[in-house]
Structure 1
Protein backbone atom coordinates (compact mmCIF):
# COMPACT_ATOMS: atom_id res chain seq x y z
CA UNK A 1 0.00 0.00 0.00
CA UNK A 2 2.81 2.39 0.91
CA UNK A 3 4.62 1.80 -2.38
CA UNK A 4 1.39 2.40 -4.30
CA UNK A 5 1.08 5.78 -2.58
CA UNK A 6 4.71 6.57 -3.34
CA UNK A 7 4.04 5.72 -7.00
CA UNK A 8 1.14 8.17 -7.10
CA UNK A 9 3.30 10.84 -5.49
CA UNK A 10 5.88 10.11 -8.15
CA UNK A 11 3.28 10.43 -10.92
CA UNK A 12 2.17 13.75 -9.45
CA UNK A 13 5.85 14.84 -9.43
CA UNK A 14 5.87 15.37 -5.68
CA UNK A 15 8.68 12.92 -4.89
CA UNK A 16 10.98 10.31 -6.39
CA UNK A 17 10.62 6.61 -5.60
CA UNK A 18 13.11 5.14 -3.18
CA UNK A 19 15.33 2.17 -3.82
CA UNK A 20 13.04 0.09 -1.60
CA UNK A 21 10.04 1.03 -3.74
CA UNK A 22 11.88 -0.02 -6.89
CA UNK A 23 12.86 -3.31 -5.24
CA UNK A 24 9.21 -3.86 -4.34
CA UNK A 25 8.23 -3.21 -7.96
CA UNK A 26 10.79 -5.84 -9.00
CA UNK A 27 9.24 -8.36 -6.62
CA UNK A 28 5.72 -7.66 -7.89
CA UNK A 29 6.80 -7.55 -11.58
CA UNK A 30 5.42 -4.03 -12.02
CA UNK A 31 6.99 -3.42 -15.42
CA UNK A 32 4.78 -0.42 -16.22
CA UNK A 33 5.91 1.39 -13.05
CA UNK A 34 9.56 0.68 -13.76
CA UNK A 35 9.21 1.89 -17.35
CA UNK A 36 7.52 5.06 -16.11
CA UNK A 37 10.37 5.59 -13.64
CA UNK A 38 12.88 5.04 -16.45
CA UNK A 39 11.23 7.73 -18.56
CA UNK A 40 10.24 10.35 -15.97
CA UNK A 41 12.59 9.96 -13.00
CA UNK A 42 15.69 11.85 -12.03
CA UNK A 43 19.05 10.40 -13.04
CA UNK A 44 19.38 8.08 -10.02
CA UNK A 45 15.82 6.80 -10.40
CA UNK A 46 16.38 6.21 -14.12
CA UNK A 47 19.53 4.24 -13.42
CA UNK A 48 17.80 2.13 -10.73
CA UNK A 49 14.82 1.51 -13.02
CA UNK A 50 17.08 0.41 -15.89
CA UNK A 51 18.89 -1.99 -13.59
CA UNK A 52 15.56 -3.23 -12.20
CA UNK A 53 14.19 -4.01 -15.65
CA UNK A 54 17.06 -6.45 -16.02
CA UNK A 55 15.68 -8.56 -13.17
CA UNK A 56 12.07 -8.42 -14.37
CA UNK A 57 13.17 -9.53 -17.84
CA UNK A 58 10.17 -8.52 -19.99
CA UNK A 59 10.83 -8.14 -23.73
CA UNK A 60 8.06 -5.53 -23.85
CA UNK A 61 10.39 -3.02 -22.17
CA UNK A 62 12.97 -3.13 -24.99
CA UNK A 63 11.67 0.04 -26.76
CA UNK A 64 11.91 2.04 -23.53
CA UNK A 65 15.43 0.74 -22.96
CA UNK A 66 16.43 1.67 -26.51
CA UNK A 67 15.32 5.23 -25.80
CA UNK A 68 17.23 5.18 -22.50
CA UNK A 69 20.45 4.32 -24.33
CA UNK A 70 20.57 7.93 -25.59
CA UNK A 71 20.29 9.41 -22.10
CA UNK A 72 22.57 12.35 -21.42
CA UNK A 73 23.71 10.77 -18.13
CA UNK A 74 26.31 8.15 -18.97
CA UNK A 75 25.45 5.84 -16.02
CA UNK A 76 21.83 5.59 -17.16
CA UNK A 77 22.78 4.71 -20.72
CA UNK A 78 25.27 2.10 -19.51
CA UNK A 79 22.65 0.55 -17.22
CA UNK A 80 20.21 0.41 -20.15
CA UNK A 81 22.88 -1.20 -22.34
CA UNK A 82 23.63 -3.82 -19.71
CA UNK A 83 19.94 -4.58 -19.33
CA UNK A 84 19.46 -4.95 -23.08
CA UNK A 85 22.47 -7.20 -23.30
CA UNK A 86 21.28 -9.44 -20.47
CA UNK A 87 17.75 -9.70 -21.83
CA UNK A 88 19.36 -11.68 -24.64
CA UNK A 89 17.16 -10.66 -27.54
CA UNK A 90 17.39 -12.55 -30.81
CA UNK A 91 17.02 -9.42 -32.93
CA UNK A 92 20.20 -8.66 -34.88
CA UNK A 93 19.44 -4.94 -35.08
CA UNK A 94 19.35 -4.61 -31.31
CA UNK A 95 22.54 -6.66 -30.99
CA UNK A 96 24.35 -4.38 -33.44
CA UNK A 97 23.08 -1.26 -31.64
CA UNK A 98 24.32 -2.64 -28.32
CA UNK A 99 27.70 -3.51 -29.80
CA UNK A 100 28.14 -0.05 -31.33
CA UNK A 101 27.07 1.66 -28.12
CA UNK A 102 29.51 -0.36 -26.03
CA UNK A 103 32.27 0.67 -28.45
CA UNK A 104 31.11 4.27 -28.08
CA UNK A 105 31.30 4.06 -24.29
CA UNK A 106 34.74 2.47 -24.51
CA UNK A 107 35.93 5.26 -26.82
CA UNK A 108 34.59 7.88 -24.40
CA UNK A 109 36.44 6.31 -21.48
CA UNK A 110 39.65 6.06 -23.50
CA UNK A 111 39.33 9.71 -24.51
CA UNK A 112 38.88 10.76 -20.88
CA UNK A 113 41.97 8.77 -19.90
CA UNK A 114 44.01 10.40 -22.68
CA UNK A 115 42.85 13.84 -21.56
CA UNK A 116 43.82 13.10 -17.96
CA UNK A 117 47.26 11.92 -19.00
CA UNK A 118 47.68 14.95 -21.29
CA UNK A 119 46.88 17.30 -18.41
CA UNK A 120 49.70 15.80 -16.40
CA UNK A 121 52.18 16.25 -19.24
CA UNK A 122 50.98 19.74 -20.07
CA UNK A 123 52.26 21.33 -16.87
CA UNK A 124 55.86 20.14 -17.02
CA UNK A 125 57.38 23.61 -17.43
CA UNK A 126 60.95 24.10 -16.33
CA UNK A 127 61.46 27.19 -14.22
CA UNK A 128 64.49 28.35 -16.16
CA UNK A 129 62.44 28.45 -19.38
CA UNK A 130 59.74 30.82 -18.22
CA UNK A 131 59.29 33.87 -20.40
CA UNK A 132 59.52 36.34 -17.54
CA UNK A 133 62.98 35.04 -16.68
CA UNK A 134 64.05 35.21 -20.34
CA UNK A 135 62.92 38.82 -20.63
CA UNK A 136 64.73 39.72 -17.42
CA UNK A 137 67.95 38.16 -18.72
CA UNK A 138 67.55 40.06 -21.98
CA UNK A 139 67.20 43.39 -20.12
CA UNK A 140 70.30 42.62 -18.04
CA UNK A 141 72.32 41.95 -21.19
CA UNK A 142 71.18 45.21 -22.79
CA UNK A 143 72.16 47.17 -19.73
CA UNK A 144 75.69 45.76 -19.89
CA UNK A 145 76.21 47.13 -23.43
CA UNK A 146 77.62 50.60 -23.81
CA UNK A 147 75.34 53.42 -24.93
CA UNK A 148 76.09 54.81 -28.42
Structure 2
Protein backbone atom coordinates (compact mmCIF):
# COMPACT_ATOMS: atom_id res chain seq x y z
CA UNK A 1 0.00 0.00 0.00
CA UNK A 2 1.39 3.38 -1.00
CA UNK A 3 0.87 6.13 1.53
CA UNK A 4 0.49 9.55 -0.03
CA UNK A 5 2.00 12.35 2.03
CA UNK A 6 -0.41 15.27 2.32
CA UNK A 7 0.97 18.72 1.67
CA UNK A 8 0.90 21.56 4.16
CA UNK A 9 -2.05 23.17 2.39
CA UNK A 10 -3.99 19.89 2.58
CA UNK A 11 -3.37 19.64 6.31
CA UNK A 12 -4.47 23.26 6.75
CA UNK A 13 -7.63 22.46 4.77
CA UNK A 14 -8.33 19.44 7.01
CA UNK A 15 -7.74 21.66 10.01
CA UNK A 16 -10.24 24.24 8.71
CA UNK A 17 -12.98 21.67 8.14
CA UNK A 18 -11.96 19.86 11.38
CA UNK A 19 -11.47 16.49 9.70
CA UNK A 20 -9.96 14.80 12.76
CA UNK A 21 -9.74 11.21 11.36
CA UNK A 22 -7.60 12.34 8.42
CA UNK A 23 -5.36 14.41 10.70
CA UNK A 24 -4.96 11.44 13.04
CA UNK A 25 -4.07 9.22 10.09
CA UNK A 26 -1.46 11.76 8.95
CA UNK A 27 -0.08 11.85 12.49
CA UNK A 28 0.25 8.07 12.57
CA UNK A 29 1.61 7.39 9.09
CA UNK A 30 3.20 10.57 7.76
CA UNK A 31 6.83 11.60 7.52
CA UNK A 32 8.26 13.72 10.33
CA UNK A 33 7.15 17.07 8.84
CA UNK A 34 3.64 15.78 8.14
CA UNK A 35 3.38 14.34 11.65
CA UNK A 36 4.45 17.67 13.18
CA UNK A 37 1.93 19.64 11.09
CA UNK A 38 -0.84 17.15 11.85
CA UNK A 39 -0.17 17.39 15.59
CA UNK A 40 -0.32 21.17 15.43
CA UNK A 41 -3.51 21.00 13.35
CA UNK A 42 -5.18 18.71 15.90
CA UNK A 43 -4.74 21.49 18.46
CA UNK A 44 -6.86 23.77 16.28
CA UNK A 45 -9.46 21.05 15.67
CA UNK A 46 -9.89 20.85 19.46
CA UNK A 47 -11.40 17.39 20.00
CA UNK A 48 -10.45 15.28 23.00
CA UNK A 49 -11.09 12.11 21.00
CA UNK A 50 -7.59 12.41 19.49
CA UNK A 51 -5.80 12.13 22.87
CA UNK A 52 -4.77 8.45 22.42
CA UNK A 53 -3.13 9.21 19.08
CA UNK A 54 -1.36 12.23 20.59
CA UNK A 55 -0.13 10.15 23.54
CA UNK A 56 1.41 7.74 21.07
CA UNK A 57 2.93 10.61 19.07
CA UNK A 58 4.38 12.02 22.26
CA UNK A 59 6.94 9.17 22.21
CA UNK A 60 7.99 9.87 18.63
CA UNK A 61 11.67 9.51 17.72
CA UNK A 62 11.71 13.00 16.20
CA UNK A 63 11.83 15.58 18.99
CA UNK A 64 9.84 18.23 17.09
CA UNK A 65 6.93 15.83 16.59
CA UNK A 66 7.00 14.89 20.27
CA UNK A 67 6.99 18.54 21.34
CA UNK A 68 4.15 19.37 18.92
CA UNK A 69 2.10 16.50 20.38
CA UNK A 70 2.78 17.77 23.91
CA UNK A 71 1.74 21.28 22.95
CA UNK A 72 -1.45 19.90 21.42
CA UNK A 73 -2.25 17.87 24.52
CA UNK A 74 -1.80 20.96 26.64
CA UNK A 75 -3.91 23.07 24.26
CA UNK A 76 -6.75 20.54 24.26
CA UNK A 77 -6.94 20.81 28.04
CA UNK A 78 -8.80 17.55 28.59
CA UNK A 79 -9.53 17.05 32.27
CA UNK A 80 -8.02 13.57 32.43
CA UNK A 81 -5.58 13.41 35.37
CA UNK A 82 -3.34 10.89 33.61
CA UNK A 83 -2.94 13.14 30.57
CA UNK A 84 -2.19 16.16 32.76
CA UNK A 85 0.44 14.24 34.75
CA UNK A 86 2.12 12.77 31.67
CA UNK A 87 2.15 16.13 29.92
CA UNK A 88 3.68 17.86 32.94
CA UNK A 89 6.44 15.24 33.26
CA UNK A 90 7.23 15.36 29.55
CA UNK A 91 7.37 19.16 29.57
CA UNK A 92 9.94 18.93 32.35
CA UNK A 93 11.92 16.56 30.12
CA UNK A 94 11.66 18.97 27.18
CA UNK A 95 12.78 21.84 29.42
CA UNK A 96 15.82 19.81 30.55
CA UNK A 97 16.72 18.99 26.93
CA UNK A 98 16.42 22.64 25.91
CA UNK A 99 18.44 23.81 28.93
CA UNK A 100 21.18 21.27 28.16
CA UNK A 101 21.31 22.40 24.53
CA UNK A 102 21.46 26.06 25.58
CA UNK A 103 24.26 25.31 28.04
CA UNK A 104 26.24 23.46 25.36
CA UNK A 105 25.72 26.36 22.95
CA UNK A 106 26.86 28.87 25.56
CA UNK A 107 29.99 26.86 26.39
CA UNK A 108 30.85 26.03 22.78
CA UNK A 109 33.36 28.85 22.29
CA UNK A 110 34.59 28.91 25.86
CA UNK A 111 38.18 27.81 26.43
CA UNK A 112 38.76 25.66 29.45
CA UNK A 113 41.92 25.91 31.51
CA UNK A 114 42.89 22.55 32.86
CA UNK A 115 45.35 22.54 35.73
CA UNK A 116 45.79 18.82 36.16
CA UNK A 117 49.38 18.60 35.03
CA UNK A 118 50.99 19.06 38.43
CA UNK A 119 50.65 15.42 39.35
CA UNK A 120 53.35 13.12 40.61
CA UNK A 121 53.46 11.34 37.25
CA UNK A 122 54.28 14.62 35.52
CA UNK A 123 57.08 15.32 37.96
CA UNK A 124 58.45 11.81 37.63
CA UNK A 125 58.32 12.15 33.86
CA UNK A 126 60.40 15.32 34.11
CA UNK A 127 62.93 13.51 36.30
CA UNK A 128 63.25 10.70 33.77
CA UNK A 129 63.74 13.24 30.97
CA UNK A 130 66.53 14.94 32.92
CA UNK A 131 68.26 11.61 33.60
CA UNK A 132 68.11 10.71 29.93
CA UNK A 133 69.93 13.91 29.04
CA UNK A 134 72.91 12.96 31.24
CA UNK A 135 75.75 11.08 29.61
CA UNK A 136 76.07 7.36 30.24
CA UNK A 137 79.02 6.36 32.58
Q: TM-score range by the shorter chain?
A: 0.7 to 0.9
2:20: which partner in 1? 31
2:2: which partner in 1? 12
Within 2, Cα distance between the matches of 1:60 and 1:114? 38
Distance apart, 1:91 and its partner CA: 1.2
Q: Tell me: higher relative CO, structure 1 or 2? Use CA pairs within 8 A at least 6 residues apart.
A: 2
Seen in structure 2, the aligned counterparts of structure 1 residues 142 and 117 have a Cα distance that, compared at 3 Å, is farther
Within 1, Cα distance between the matches of 2:13 and 2:109? 47
Q: Mapping of 1:1-148 within 5 angstroms?
A: 12-13=2-3, 15-116=4-105, 120=109, 141=130, 144-148=133-137
Unaligned runs of 5+ in 2: 115-124
Tell me the TM-score normalised to structure 1 length: 0.73
Distance apart, 1:118 and its partner CA: 6.0
Q: Deviations over 1:52-106 (max 9, x none)?
A: 0000001110110011100010000100000000111111111110000001111
Across the aligned residues of Structure 1 and Structure 2, the Cα RMSD in angstroms comes to: 2.9
Q: Which has the higher helix share?
A: 1
Distance apart, 1:123 and its partner CA: 6.7
Within 1, Cα distance between the matches of 2:96 and 2:104? 12
Within 2, Cα distance between the matches of 1:122 and 1:113? 17
Within 2, Cα distance between the matches of 1:50 and 1:74? 13
Number of residues of Structure 1 aligned to a counterpart in Structure 2: 130
Distance apart, 1:41 and its partner CA: 0.2
